Amino acid sequence: MEAFPVVDMKKLDGEKRGAAMDLIGDACENWGFFELVNHGISHELLDEVERLTKAHYKDVMEQRFKEMVEAKGLEAVRSQVEDLDWESTFYLRHLPTSNMSEIPDLTQEYRDVMKEFASELEKLAECVLDLFCENLGLEKGYLKKVFYGSVGPNFGTKVSNYPPCPKPDMIKGLRAHTDAGGVILLFQDDKVSGLQLLKDGEWIDVPPMRHSIVVNLGDQLEVITNGKYKSVLHRVVAQTDGNRMSVASFYNPGSDAVIYPAPKLVEKESSEGTVPETYPKFVFDDYMKLYARLKFEAKEPRFEAMKTRDPSVNYGTVAAAY
Protein backbone atom coordinates (compact mmCIF):
# COMPACT_ATOMS: atom_id res chain seq x y z
CA MET A 1 0.00 0.00 0.00
CA GLU A 2 1.37 3.43 -0.93
CA ALA A 3 2.19 5.85 1.86
CA PHE A 4 -0.50 8.14 3.24
CA PRO A 5 -0.03 11.56 1.58
CA VAL A 6 1.68 14.13 3.81
CA VAL A 7 2.17 17.61 2.34
CA ASP A 8 4.85 19.94 3.67
CA MET A 9 3.44 23.39 2.96
CA LYS A 10 6.91 24.98 3.22
CA LYS A 11 7.72 23.29 -0.09
CA LEU A 12 4.98 25.33 -1.80
CA ASP A 13 7.25 28.40 -1.53
CA GLY A 14 10.31 26.95 -3.23
CA GLU A 15 11.62 24.88 -6.10
CA LYS A 16 9.74 21.84 -4.83
CA ARG A 17 6.34 23.51 -5.32
CA GLY A 18 5.54 21.44 -8.39
CA ALA A 19 6.04 18.14 -6.57
CA ALA A 20 3.99 19.35 -3.58
CA MET A 21 1.15 20.46 -5.86
CA ASP A 22 1.24 17.10 -7.64
CA LEU A 23 1.01 15.35 -4.27
CA ILE A 24 -2.05 17.43 -3.33
CA GLY A 25 -3.66 16.69 -6.69
CA ASP A 26 -3.06 12.95 -6.39
CA ALA A 27 -4.39 12.95 -2.84
CA CYS A 28 -7.58 14.74 -3.90
CA GLU A 29 -8.17 12.37 -6.82
CA ASN A 30 -7.19 9.07 -5.22
CA TRP A 31 -7.43 9.44 -1.44
CA GLY A 32 -9.88 12.20 -0.54
CA PHE A 33 -7.55 12.88 2.41
CA PHE A 34 -4.09 14.27 3.04
CA GLU A 35 -2.13 15.58 6.00
CA LEU A 36 -0.54 19.05 6.25
CA VAL A 37 2.63 19.91 8.14
CA ASN A 38 4.25 23.35 8.34
CA HIS A 39 0.80 24.80 7.71
CA GLY A 40 1.41 28.10 9.49
CA ILE A 41 -0.68 27.53 12.64
CA SER A 42 1.64 27.83 15.61
CA HIS A 43 2.42 24.76 17.68
CA GLU A 44 1.77 26.80 20.80
CA LEU A 45 -1.81 27.51 19.70
CA LEU A 46 -2.39 23.86 18.81
CA ASP A 47 -1.06 22.80 22.21
CA GLU A 48 -3.46 25.21 23.92
CA VAL A 49 -6.41 23.89 21.90
CA GLU A 50 -5.48 20.33 22.90
CA ARG A 51 -4.95 21.18 26.57
CA LEU A 52 -8.21 23.07 26.93
CA THR A 53 -10.25 20.59 24.90
CA LYS A 54 -9.08 17.68 27.03
CA ALA A 55 -9.64 19.66 30.23
CA HIS A 56 -13.16 20.60 29.13
CA TYR A 57 -13.99 16.95 28.45
CA LYS A 58 -12.66 15.86 31.84
CA ASP A 59 -14.39 18.66 33.76
CA VAL A 60 -17.69 18.90 31.89
CA MET A 61 -18.35 16.17 29.33
CA GLU A 62 -16.97 12.97 30.84
CA GLN A 63 -19.64 12.51 33.51
CA ARG A 64 -22.43 13.22 31.01
CA PHE A 65 -21.00 10.60 28.67
CA LYS A 66 -20.78 8.01 31.46
CA GLU A 67 -24.40 8.69 32.38
CA MET A 68 -25.48 8.23 28.76
CA VAL A 69 -23.57 4.92 28.53
CA GLU A 70 -25.17 3.66 31.73
CA ALA A 71 -28.65 4.79 30.70
CA LYS A 72 -28.40 2.90 27.40
CA GLY A 73 -26.69 -0.15 28.85
CA LEU A 74 -23.85 0.11 26.32
CA GLU A 75 -21.16 -1.39 28.55
CA ALA A 76 -22.80 -4.79 28.34
CA VAL A 77 -24.04 -4.90 24.73
CA ARG A 78 -23.89 -8.33 23.12
CA SER A 79 -24.79 -7.44 19.54
CA GLN A 80 -23.77 -4.80 17.00
CA VAL A 81 -25.03 -1.29 17.79
CA GLU A 82 -26.01 0.23 14.43
CA ASP A 83 -27.62 3.53 15.37
CA LEU A 84 -25.27 5.10 17.92
CA ASP A 85 -21.72 6.39 18.01
CA TRP A 86 -19.28 6.09 20.92
CA GLU A 87 -18.41 9.78 21.03
CA SER A 88 -18.92 12.86 23.17
CA THR A 89 -19.34 16.03 21.09
CA PHE A 90 -20.35 19.66 20.99
CA TYR A 91 -20.49 22.13 18.11
CA LEU A 92 -19.18 25.64 17.63
CA ARG A 93 -20.43 27.84 14.81
CA HIS A 94 -18.07 30.55 13.54
CA LEU A 95 -19.60 31.82 10.28
CA PRO A 96 -21.78 33.46 9.15
CA THR A 97 -22.41 34.25 12.83
CA SER A 98 -20.75 32.84 15.93
CA ASN A 99 -22.56 30.96 18.68
CA MET A 100 -19.46 30.80 20.90
CA SER A 101 -21.02 32.93 23.64
CA GLU A 102 -24.11 30.68 23.72
CA ILE A 103 -22.29 27.41 24.46
CA PRO A 104 -22.55 26.69 28.20
CA ASP A 105 -19.72 25.54 30.43
CA LEU A 106 -16.87 26.93 28.31
CA THR A 107 -14.28 28.94 30.17
CA GLN A 108 -13.43 32.38 28.79
CA GLU A 109 -9.90 31.14 28.13
CA TYR A 110 -11.27 28.27 26.02
CA ARG A 111 -13.58 30.61 24.09
CA ASP A 112 -10.70 32.97 23.32
CA VAL A 113 -8.38 30.18 22.18
CA MET A 114 -11.03 28.57 19.97
CA LYS A 115 -11.85 31.95 18.41
CA GLU A 116 -8.19 32.44 17.53
CA PHE A 117 -7.95 28.86 16.26
CA ALA A 118 -11.03 29.31 14.06
CA SER A 119 -9.53 32.46 12.54
CA GLU A 120 -6.35 30.58 11.64
CA LEU A 121 -8.28 27.63 10.22
CA GLU A 122 -10.47 29.89 8.09
CA LYS A 123 -7.36 31.33 6.44
CA LEU A 124 -5.91 27.84 5.96
CA ALA A 125 -9.15 26.52 4.44
CA GLU A 126 -9.24 29.37 1.91
CA CYS A 127 -5.57 28.77 1.07
CA VAL A 128 -6.28 25.07 0.50
CA LEU A 129 -9.26 25.89 -1.74
CA ASP A 130 -7.03 28.12 -3.88
CA LEU A 131 -4.46 25.31 -4.17
CA PHE A 132 -7.29 23.12 -5.45
CA CYS A 133 -8.24 25.83 -7.97
CA GLU A 134 -4.65 25.97 -9.21
CA ASN A 135 -4.45 22.21 -9.67
CA LEU A 136 -7.85 22.10 -11.40
CA GLY A 137 -7.10 24.97 -13.77
CA LEU A 138 -9.81 27.16 -12.25
CA GLU A 139 -9.33 30.86 -11.61
CA LYS A 140 -8.00 31.76 -8.18
CA GLY A 141 -10.86 32.28 -5.75
CA TYR A 142 -13.37 30.28 -7.81
CA LEU A 143 -14.23 27.80 -5.06
CA LYS A 144 -14.45 30.49 -2.39
CA LYS A 145 -16.80 32.44 -4.63
CA VAL A 146 -19.03 29.40 -5.25
CA PHE A 147 -19.13 28.70 -1.50
CA TYR A 148 -20.00 32.28 -0.63
CA GLY A 149 -23.75 32.43 -1.35
CA SER A 150 -25.33 35.70 -0.26
CA VAL A 151 -23.89 35.98 3.27
CA GLY A 152 -20.67 33.96 3.14
CA PRO A 153 -19.73 30.37 3.92
CA ASN A 154 -20.87 28.18 6.78
CA PHE A 155 -17.90 27.47 9.02
CA GLY A 156 -18.06 25.49 12.24
CA THR A 157 -16.19 23.08 14.48
CA LYS A 158 -17.20 19.73 15.88
CA VAL A 159 -15.26 19.05 19.09
CA SER A 160 -15.25 15.33 19.87
CA ASN A 161 -13.78 12.93 22.38
CA TYR A 162 -13.80 9.16 21.94
CA PRO A 163 -13.39 7.60 25.40
CA PRO A 164 -12.14 4.05 25.99
CA CYS A 165 -14.78 1.59 24.84
CA PRO A 166 -15.36 -1.79 26.51
CA LYS A 167 -16.93 -3.27 23.36
CA PRO A 168 -15.09 -1.78 20.34
CA ASP A 169 -16.11 -4.78 18.23
CA MET A 170 -19.78 -3.94 18.85
CA ILE A 171 -19.86 -0.12 18.77
CA LYS A 172 -18.20 2.22 16.29
CA GLY A 173 -16.62 5.43 17.54
CA LEU A 174 -18.25 7.07 14.52
CA ARG A 175 -20.04 5.14 11.78
CA ALA A 176 -18.77 5.22 8.20
CA HIS A 177 -19.91 8.26 6.19
CA THR A 178 -18.78 10.91 3.76
CA ASP A 179 -18.87 14.54 4.87
CA ALA A 180 -21.59 16.63 3.30
CA GLY A 181 -19.78 19.93 2.98
CA GLY A 182 -16.70 21.45 1.41
CA VAL A 183 -13.24 21.13 2.94
CA ILE A 184 -12.67 19.71 6.41
CA LEU A 185 -9.64 20.54 8.56
CA LEU A 186 -8.99 18.13 11.42
CA PHE A 187 -6.71 18.56 14.41
CA GLN A 188 -6.59 15.09 15.91
CA ASP A 189 -5.00 13.35 18.84
CA ASP A 190 -1.39 12.43 18.09
CA LYS A 191 -1.30 9.55 20.56
CA VAL A 192 -4.63 7.71 20.24
CA SER A 193 -5.49 6.56 16.72
CA GLY A 194 -8.86 5.48 15.35
CA LEU A 195 -9.65 7.49 12.20
CA GLN A 196 -9.77 5.35 9.07
CA LEU A 197 -10.66 5.95 5.41
CA LEU A 198 -11.80 3.45 2.79
CA LYS A 199 -9.39 3.12 -0.14
CA ASP A 200 -9.51 0.40 -2.78
CA GLY A 201 -11.80 -1.67 -0.58
CA GLU A 202 -9.54 -1.53 2.48
CA TRP A 203 -9.77 0.53 5.67
CA ILE A 204 -6.59 2.62 5.99
CA ASP A 205 -5.46 4.37 9.18
CA VAL A 206 -5.04 8.13 9.03
CA PRO A 207 -1.74 8.38 10.91
CA PRO A 208 -1.68 10.54 14.04
CA MET A 209 1.05 13.17 13.64
CA ARG A 210 1.83 15.82 16.22
CA HIS A 211 0.81 19.35 15.18
CA SER A 212 -0.46 18.26 11.77
CA ILE A 213 -3.79 19.20 10.20
CA VAL A 214 -5.66 16.48 8.30
CA VAL A 215 -7.62 17.67 5.26
CA ASN A 216 -10.49 15.75 3.74
CA LEU A 217 -12.94 16.55 0.96
CA GLY A 218 -16.71 16.77 1.33
CA ASP A 219 -19.49 15.91 -1.12
CA GLN A 220 -19.69 19.48 -2.45
CA LEU A 221 -16.17 19.37 -3.86
CA GLU A 222 -17.00 16.12 -5.64
CA VAL A 223 -19.96 17.83 -7.29
CA ILE A 224 -18.10 21.05 -8.19
CA THR A 225 -15.15 19.12 -9.67
CA ASN A 226 -17.59 16.87 -11.55
CA GLY A 227 -16.17 13.79 -9.88
CA LYS A 228 -12.48 14.53 -10.45
CA TYR A 229 -12.07 14.90 -6.69
CA LYS A 230 -13.95 12.46 -4.48
CA SER A 231 -15.34 12.50 -0.97
CA VAL A 232 -14.55 9.15 0.64
CA LEU A 233 -16.04 7.00 3.35
CA HIS A 234 -14.32 7.34 6.70
CA ARG A 235 -15.02 6.19 10.24
CA VAL A 236 -13.64 6.23 13.77
CA VAL A 237 -12.88 2.88 15.36
CA ALA A 238 -13.41 2.85 19.11
CA GLN A 239 -10.39 1.90 21.21
CA THR A 240 -10.16 0.05 24.52
CA ASP A 241 -7.43 2.37 25.84
CA GLY A 242 -6.96 6.12 25.71
CA ASN A 243 -9.32 9.02 25.11
CA ARG A 244 -9.04 10.26 21.49
CA MET A 245 -9.48 13.99 20.85
CA SER A 246 -10.82 15.22 17.52
CA VAL A 247 -11.34 18.90 16.59
CA ALA A 248 -12.83 18.95 13.08
CA SER A 249 -13.59 22.27 11.38
CA PHE A 250 -15.87 22.39 8.35
CA TYR A 251 -15.56 25.15 5.75
CA ASN A 252 -18.80 24.70 3.82
CA PRO A 253 -20.90 26.57 1.27
CA GLY A 254 -23.36 29.18 2.48
CA SER A 255 -26.89 27.92 2.99
CA ASP A 256 -28.18 29.53 -0.23
CA ALA A 257 -25.06 28.81 -2.32
CA VAL A 258 -25.90 27.09 -5.61
CA ILE A 259 -23.67 24.08 -6.15
CA TYR A 260 -23.03 22.57 -9.58
CA PRO A 261 -20.11 21.22 -11.66
CA ALA A 262 -17.67 23.92 -12.75
CA PRO A 263 -18.44 24.58 -16.45
CA LYS A 264 -14.72 24.82 -17.27
CA LEU A 265 -14.12 21.29 -15.97
CA VAL A 266 -17.13 19.87 -17.83
CA GLU A 267 -15.99 21.55 -21.04
CA LYS A 268 -12.48 20.19 -20.56
CA GLU A 269 -13.78 16.64 -20.17
CA SER A 270 -15.90 17.01 -23.30
CA SER A 271 -12.99 18.41 -25.32
CA GLU A 272 -10.85 15.44 -24.28
CA GLY A 273 -13.43 13.08 -25.69
CA THR A 274 -14.63 11.68 -22.39
CA VAL A 275 -18.27 11.58 -21.37
CA PRO A 276 -18.60 13.89 -18.35
CA GLU A 277 -20.13 12.66 -15.12
CA THR A 278 -23.61 14.03 -14.54
CA TYR A 279 -23.70 15.61 -11.11
CA PRO A 280 -26.73 17.63 -9.97
CA LYS A 281 -27.28 21.36 -9.47
CA PHE A 282 -28.84 22.30 -6.14
CA VAL A 283 -28.93 24.74 -3.25
CA PHE A 284 -26.63 23.62 -0.43
CA ASP A 285 -29.37 23.99 2.20
CA ASP A 286 -31.53 21.48 0.30
CA TYR A 287 -28.69 18.97 0.20
CA MET A 288 -28.17 19.32 3.94
CA LYS A 289 -31.82 18.60 4.64
CA LEU A 290 -31.50 15.34 2.75
CA TYR A 291 -28.15 14.54 4.36
CA ALA A 292 -29.70 14.89 7.82
CA ARG A 293 -31.64 11.69 7.16
CA LEU A 294 -29.13 9.81 5.03
CA LYS A 295 -25.71 10.66 6.50
CA PHE A 296 -24.72 7.07 7.15
CA GLU A 297 -25.89 5.79 3.77
CA ALA A 298 -24.15 5.88 0.39
CA LYS A 299 -23.67 9.32 -1.17
CA GLU A 300 -24.66 8.31 -4.71
CA PRO A 301 -28.42 8.05 -3.95
CA ARG A 302 -28.20 11.52 -2.37
CA PHE A 303 -26.76 12.91 -5.60
CA GLU A 304 -29.44 11.14 -7.63
CA ALA A 305 -32.18 12.44 -5.36
CA MET A 306 -30.96 16.01 -5.88
CA LYS A 307 -31.23 15.58 -9.66
CA THR A 308 -34.91 14.78 -9.42
CA ARG A 309 -35.76 16.87 -6.38
CA ASP A 310 -39.21 18.42 -6.32
CA PRO A 311 -38.75 21.95 -4.88
CA SER A 312 -42.14 21.65 -3.16
CA VAL A 313 -40.93 18.72 -1.03
CA ASN A 314 -39.73 19.66 2.44
CA TYR A 315 -36.95 17.30 3.50
CA GLY A 316 -37.11 18.51 7.10
CA THR A 317 -34.71 20.46 9.26
CA VAL A 318 -31.21 21.33 8.18
CA ALA A 319 -28.44 19.18 9.61
CA ALA A 320 -25.47 20.78 11.25
CA ALA A 321 -23.05 20.81 8.35
CA TYR A 322 -20.57 18.40 9.89
Are the CB atoms for 284 and 259 separated by under 8 Å? yes
Q: How far, in Å, CA of 171 to CA of 238, rounded?
A: 7
Helix (H), strand (E) at residue 261: none
Burial class, 67, CB count within 10 angstroms (exposed 0-12 / middle 13-18 / buried 19+): exposed
SS3 (DSSP) at 267: helix
pLDDT in tens, the chain (322 residues): 579 999 999 999 989 999 999 999 999 999 999 999 999 999 999 999 999 999 999 999 999 999 988 888 777 677 788 878 999 999 999 999 999 999 989 999 999 999 999 999 999 999 999 999 999 999 999 999 999 999 999 999 999 999 999 888 888 889 999 999 999 999 999 998 899 999 999 999 999 999 999 999 999 999 999 999 999 999 999 888 888 999 999 999 999 999 999 999 998 887 777 767 789 999 999 999 999 999 999 999 999 999 887 554 454 444 444 4
pLDDT digits (tens, 9 = 90+) for 21-70: 999 999 999 999 999 999 999 999 999 999 999 999 999 999 999 998 88
Q: How far, in Å, CA of 147 to CA of 181, rounded?
A: 10
Burial class, 78, CB count within 10 angstroms (exposed 0-12 / middle 13-18 / buried 19+): exposed
pLDDT digits (tens, 9 = 90+) for 148-165: 999 999 999 999 999 999
pTM: 0.92
Q: How far, in Å, CA of 233 to CA of 262, rounded?
A: 23
Helix pair 108-136, 43-56: axis angle to 10 deg:
130
Burial class, 312, CB count within 10 angstroms (exposed 0-12 / middle 13-18 / buried 19+): exposed
Type of residue at 100: M
* Of residues 25, 87, 40, the one with CA closest to residue 235: 87
- pLDDT value at position 291? 95
The stretches of the chain forming alpha helices (DSSP H) are 17-30, 43-56, 62-72, 108-136, 142-148, 219-224, 263-271, 284-294, 299-307
